[in-house]
């Protein structure tokens, strides 16, 4: 493999030298590079761990164009609260039969402003909520602060895509993984018996982390997690079986944390899927009404070395009301979902939040502007992923804290592609316990994948940053790794400096301050798995014009 890597690199350099601009040719990395057939080769470490294939992220498992679903009900703005008329239209379409493609139809909200006193909910498969544009002259959903608030309104989301049930595990089908070590990036596992499994089965691949593993991570102390020690936990990968051979099964997407016998091993179990699917929100603007009289002053130099009063250090005063909608869209108990061509203003927390148990979500061409909240913890998590295999692409965040963020071990296989954060108040990152297998691809934002001192512990593992721009901090967790390739920026960050533990080992960094080839890891992986048409399906322009 090394010979192929060096041969490919030498060829590129020689070709560039002959053209007189070798310095302009992005280098390949020692971990991912083209083989003799031109396709990417992934160099494995001594245990077999390698950079995973992230191309299963997104609607329908990646590379599938978001369809146009015909309108079935049209709604115009009415005087006063519009939530009742919109919800009635959603319910009407929800009662219609599914077509052969799994859709019932779309609710079209005509251009105008729709004051809403209650949240909206889609809880049936095949229903789309569509507006006529996300600008100030498009379709505007205005989440009002009403007093007293209706039950369930306070702190809620303006739009909820929420199935009533999730998956139901069939414990009787459980089979233990017999491999002593299943490396990161693997798709095949050996079972005690695969006799009860077949191609097409939906399964949970469960990776156990025992108390010995928690101790190995160094998070078994009462000083980690706000005095709450980490406890053993299970990481679950939502997969479909693609092949069975003897007692070996192959699944459609890789695992993102190694399964190791000494740390608890793993198992595979079938499940019944009760989630809704083929639901979406598109082409509209959401605004959360807030109280502009509630403000907070930003102070600086609070050590006050010259003993002047605090008022002397008073800086910017900003809107900080929090008694209004936290999120624009929340997705729960759902798969094959999209949110696209949206803009959001003034929400406390997020534009889109995917909860644990969600899968195959695409969030694209969505913007967040001027969030309103106190600028401190548990706020402004703008694109907030807690589920699996989501693609967030071409999205924008202004004045977020953790703009492109993930929470906990169920957040795996997610991809942020061509996203940007401006005027941030903190870093984009895996933020909570062991979010794993995440790709930041051509993201412009301050980034971290690190140990969060005494508050969180190891926030993320097997995180890959590819051709990103901005300051970053990357550290290596025990039993895992975090990677930076082609990063342009300083390998340190100023955000949350008191919570940084710089004694932790540095993660893997290659080609600092010079982008690498291919330009996009996700798009190249998608092309190699599904073909150039799959890439064209998710791009604004044809993939033929993209320089991989």
Residue 240 lies in a domain: yes
Structural domain range at position 200: 167-273
How is residue 240 written in tokens? 């479909």
Residue 233: which of 250, 252, 219 has the closest Cα? 219
pLDDT at res. 318: 95
How many domains are there within the chain?
Answer: 3
Residue 342 domain flag = yes
Instruction: Say if residue 351 is in the same domain as residue 395.
Output: yes
| Spatial CB neighbours of 477, under 8 Å, sequence gap ≥ 6 | 217, 451, 458, 460, 461
Does residue 372 lie in a domain region?
Answer: yes
Residue 142 sits in the same domain as residue 219: no
Q: How far is CA 428 from CA 206, 483, 501, 507, in A?
A: 27, 15, 18, 17
Per-residue pLDDT of the chain (548 residues; tens, 9 = 90+): 444 444 444 444 444 433 334 557 899 999 999 999 999 999 999 999 999 999 999 999 999 999 999 999 999 999 999 999 999 999 999 999 999 999 999 999 999 999 999 999 999 999 999 999 999 999 999 999 855 444 444 458 999 999 999 999 999 999 999 999 999 999 999 999 999 999 999 999 999 999 999 999 999 876 666 556 799 999 999 999 999 999 999 999 999 999 999 999 999 999 999 999 999 999 999 999 999 999 998 765 444 445 555 555 567 799 999 999 999 999 999 999 999 999 999 999 999 999 999 999 999 999 999 999 999 988 999 999 999 999 999 999 999 999 999 999 999 999 999 999 999 999 999 998 999 999 999 999 999 999 987 778 999 999 999 999 999 999 999 999 999 999 999 999 989 888 888 999 999 999 999 999 999 999 999 999 999 999 999 998 877 778 88
Q: What is the CATH number of the domain that holds 329?
A: 2.160.20.10
Residue 531 shares a structural domain with residue 436: yes
Q: For the chain, first and last CA: distance in Å?
A: 21
**Half-sphere exposure (Cβ direction) of 303: Cα atoms closer than 13 Å:** 1
Q: Is 382 in the same domain as 506?
A: yes
Same-domain check for residues 23 and 131: no
Statement to judge: residues 34 and 156 lie in one domain: no
Same domain, 145 and 172: no
Q: Is residue 305 part of a domain?
A: no
Q: Are residues 146 and 209 in the same domain?
A: no
Q: 184 and 93 in one domain?
A: no
408 lies in some domain:
yes
| Residue 302 lies inside a defined structural domain of this protein | no
Domain contains 53: no
Q: Is the same domain home to 90 and 33?
A: no
- In this predicted structure, what is the pLDDT of residue 68? 97
CATH code: domain of residue 173: 2.40.30
Q: Rounded to two decimals, what is the model's pTM?
A: 0.93
Q: Which residues contact 192 (CB under 8 A, 6 or more apart)?
A: 175, 176, 178, 247
User: Is residue 15 located within the same domain as residue 70?
Assistant: no
Q: Which residues contact 430 (CB under 8 A, 6 or more apart)?
A: 405, 406, 411, 436, 438, 449, 459, 460, 461, 463
Same domain assignment for residues 160 and 180: no
Structural domain contains residue 332: yes
């Amino acid at each position: 493999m090394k010979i192929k890597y060096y041969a490919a690199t030498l060829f590129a350099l020689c070709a560039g030298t002959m053209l007189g601009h070798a310095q302009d040719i992005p280098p390949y990395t020692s971990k991912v590079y083209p083989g003799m057939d031109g396709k990417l080769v992934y160099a494995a470490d001594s245990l077999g761990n390698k950079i995973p294939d992230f191309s299963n992220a997104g609607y329908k498992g990646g590379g599938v164009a978001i369809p146009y679903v015909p309108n079935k009900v049209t709604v115009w703005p009415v005087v006063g609260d519009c939530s009742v008329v919109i919800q009635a239209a959603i319910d009407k379409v929800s009662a219609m039969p599914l077509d052969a493609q799994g859709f019932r139809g779309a609710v079209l909200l005509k251009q105008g402003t729709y004051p809403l006193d209650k949240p909206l909910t889609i809880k049936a498969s095949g229903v789309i909520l569509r507006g006529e544009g996300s600008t100030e002259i498009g379709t505007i959903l205005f989440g009002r602060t009403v007093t007293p608030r209706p039950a369930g309104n306070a702190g809620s989301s303006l739009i909820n895509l929420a199935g009533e049930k999730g998956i139901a595990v069939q414990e009787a089908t459980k089979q233990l993984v017999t491999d002593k070590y299943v490396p990161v990036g693997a798709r095949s596992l050996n079972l005690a018996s695969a006799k009860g499994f077949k191609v097409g089965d939906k399964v949970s691949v469960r990776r156990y982390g025992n108390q010995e593993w928690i101790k190995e991570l160094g998070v078994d102390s009462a000083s980690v997690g706000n005095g709450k020690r980490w406890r053993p936990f299970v990481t679950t990968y939502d997969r479909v079986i693609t092949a069975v051979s003897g007692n070996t099964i192959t699944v459609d997407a890789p695992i993102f944390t190694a399964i190791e016998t000494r740390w608890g091993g793993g198992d595979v179990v079938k499940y019944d899927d009760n989630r809704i699917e083929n639901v979406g929100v598109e082409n509209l603007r959401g605004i959360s009404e807030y109280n502009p009289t509630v403000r907070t002053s930003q102070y600086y130099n609070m050590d006050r070395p010259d003993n002047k009063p605090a008022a002397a250090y008073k800086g910017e005063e900003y809107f900080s009301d929090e008694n209004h909608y936290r999120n624009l869209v929340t997705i729960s108990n759902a798969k094959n979902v999209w949110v696209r061509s949206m803009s959001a203003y003034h929400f406390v927390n997020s534009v889109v939040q995917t909860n644990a148990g969600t899968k195959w979500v695409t969030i694209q061409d969505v913007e967040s502007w001027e969030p309103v909240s106190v600028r401190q913890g548990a706020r402004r998590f703008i694109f907030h992923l807690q589920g699996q295999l989501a693609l967030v692409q071409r999205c924008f965040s202004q004045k977020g804290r953790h703009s492109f963020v993930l929470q906990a071990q169920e957040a795996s296989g997610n991809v942020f592609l061509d996203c940007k954060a401006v005027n941030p108040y903190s870093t984009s990152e895996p933020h909570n316990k062991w979010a794993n297998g995440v790709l930041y691809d051509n993201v412009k934002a301050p980034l971290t994948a690190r140990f969060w001192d005494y508050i969180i512990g190891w926030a993320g593992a097997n995180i890959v940053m590819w051709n990103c721009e901005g300051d970053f901090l990357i550290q290596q967790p025990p039993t895992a790794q975090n990677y930076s390739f082609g990063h342009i920026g300083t390998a340190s960050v100023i955000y949350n400096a008191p919570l940084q533990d710089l004694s932790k080992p540095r993660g893997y960094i290659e080609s600092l301050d010079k982008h690498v080839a291919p330009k996009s890891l996700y798009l190249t992986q998608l092309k190699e798995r599904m073909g150039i048409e799959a890439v064209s399906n998710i791009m604004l322009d044809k993939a033929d014009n993209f320089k991989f």
